[in-house]
Amino acid sequence: MVMIIGAGFTSFGRKPDRTIVSLGVEVGRAAMCDANIGYADVGSGYFANALGAKLFGDMTIGQNVFAELGLSRIPVVNTENACTSGSTAFYLAQLAIRAGQCDVAMVIGAEKMCVPELGLIDSGRNELETQLGMVTPASFALRAQRHMYEFGTTREQIAAVTVKSRQHATLNPLAQFRSRETLEEVLASPPVADPLTRSQCCPIADGAAALLLASDDYATKLKRTVRLETAVLSSGSYANQADICRWETDDRTAAQAYEQSGIGPEDLDLVECHDAFTIAEIMHYEGLGLCAAGEGGPLAASGATSLGGRIPVNVSGGLLSRGHPVSATGIMQIAELVMQLRHEAGPRQVENCRIGLAHCMGGDRQGDTKSCTIVVLSRK
């Protein structure tokens, strides 16, 4: 049994004067303060960064971060797994505890994206499809078009995801976009790839997040209450090009997570999912079993996934409003669950929150999935 005993995070946004290392150190310190434990208790470090090597030639960054935290001798692993980089580091940390390697493990994800070196995010610039125009927003737009064609999903239903996201983000001081947007404003924002307008695409960001995981024995002494029910990492099949209205990885990873934890979608009080684009959130509703296939559009428009609704989704503002510093995102989603399960989420607190699910996916082939993670946490 693994418990989550501490979380730390920065706001997400442009941070031109910060390095990857300084962001990582900040959230590591914050997580230690939150957990209120001694540095000597931390037995291993898992560090996620997706873009540092490509953009800046930086490698083995984790050792620099953990050394600055005073944790210079522990096992340190650097991992990269596209948008699931952070949640993959989390997955490894819980393996280390379950394997008995250590009692306490720290996970840190830090990313710098708001730099000229980034250029266009193309998800595979050497692929023929990319060169023909199939950049990431286009691939999600194609899924949206197909969803509209197949299920009668409307532009308004899709755009409703952003309206909800901005509304939630007004309650989250860490988010990038904290002003309400009306349905009309979302639909009238500049088109990116029809039907997706600019307000329906998540922004890049600099930022970092950290978590401290501990064995049950260790956490019980501290009277901590957030328990890991399951953490699943899976890879994509590349086999669903004929059916672009669903991600086979969502279905499969969710089935595995629900089976391992004995928790079903009807038991969830809160979901943080990978809303890189509005249509993605709608498809994830279906993949996670929050509604039947094809019913994601009406669910989005119904208000059921808003704070106070049947199953609140992305009350943090999600990727769409909080921003998406790649390797920090998967950890921040879990950190949001931790705050909610501790009933410390302030104005965006989900009432009686006892079980939460964080979902993340990463890919590089035009929106096809390469990896998917699902983490389920509960309040003991």
Asked, as a colleague might, if the bond just before 265 is cis with ω within 30 of 0, I would say no
Minimum distance from CB of 346 to a copy of itself (Å)?
A: 35
Maximum Cα interatomic distance, the chain, rounded to a whole number of Å: 58
**8 Å CB contact between 227 and 44:** no
Site residues for a copy of itself per CB under 8 A: 45, 50, 53-54, 57, 59-60, 63, 66-67, 71-82, 88, 91-92, 95-96, 98-101, 125, 232-239, 252, 362, 364, 370-371
Please report where in the chains the tokens 């309650």 appear, as a residue.
171
Identity of the residue, 60 or 131, whose beta carbon is nearer to a copy of itself in the bound complex: 60
Minimum distance from CB of 235 to a copy of itself (Å)?
A: 5
Minimum distance from CB of 372 to a copy of itself (Å)?
A: 10
Cα–Cα separations (whole angstroms), residue 99 to 79, 94, 194: 19, 8, 48
Identity of the residue, 69 or 338, whose beta carbon is nearer to a copy of itself in the bound complex: 69
Report which of 347, 334, 314, 346 is spatially closest to residue 378, judged by C-alpha positions: 334
Read off the amino acid at residue 208: A
Identity of the residue, 53 or 142, whose beta carbon is nearer to a copy of itself in the bound complex: 53
Virtual torsion, Cα 361, 365, 367, 368, nearest 10 deg: -70
Read off the amino acid at residue 303: G
**8 Å CB contact between 13 and 176:** yes
Minimum distance from CB of 335 to a copy of itself (Å)?
A: 21
Tell me which residues are annotated as active site.
83
Minimum distance from CB of 88 to a copy of itself (Å)?
A: 6
Minimum distance from CB of 57 to a copy of itself (Å)?
A: 5
With a CB cutoff of 8 Å and minimum separation 6, the contacts of 377 are 4, 226, 227, 228, 229, 334, 337, 338, 341, 355, 356, 357, 358
Beta bridge partners of 6: 212
With a CB cutoff of 8 Å and minimum separation 6, the contacts of 3 are 213, 214, 215, 216, 218, 219, 220, 224, 226, 227, 228, 380
For the beta carbon of residue 154, count every other beta carbon within 10 angstroms.
Answer: 15
With residue 131 as reference, give the H or E element that holds it.
Answer: helix 128-131
Identity of the residue, 26 or 248, whose beta carbon is nearer to a copy of itself in the bound complex: 248
Minimum distance from CB of 136 to a copy of itself (Å)?
A: 14
**8 Å CB contact between 171 and 307:** yes
Identity of the residue, 117 or 194, whose beta carbon is nearer to a copy of itself in the bound complex: 117
Identity of the residue, 65 or 300, whose beta carbon is nearer to a copy of itself in the bound complex: 65
Identity of the residue, 132 or 239, whose beta carbon is nearer to a copy of itself in the bound complex: 239
Cα–Cα separations (whole angstroms), residue 286 to 63, 69, 116, 249, 332: 40, 41, 37, 12, 23
What is the spatial distance between Cα 195 and Cα 198, in angstroms, rounded to a whole number?
Answer: 10
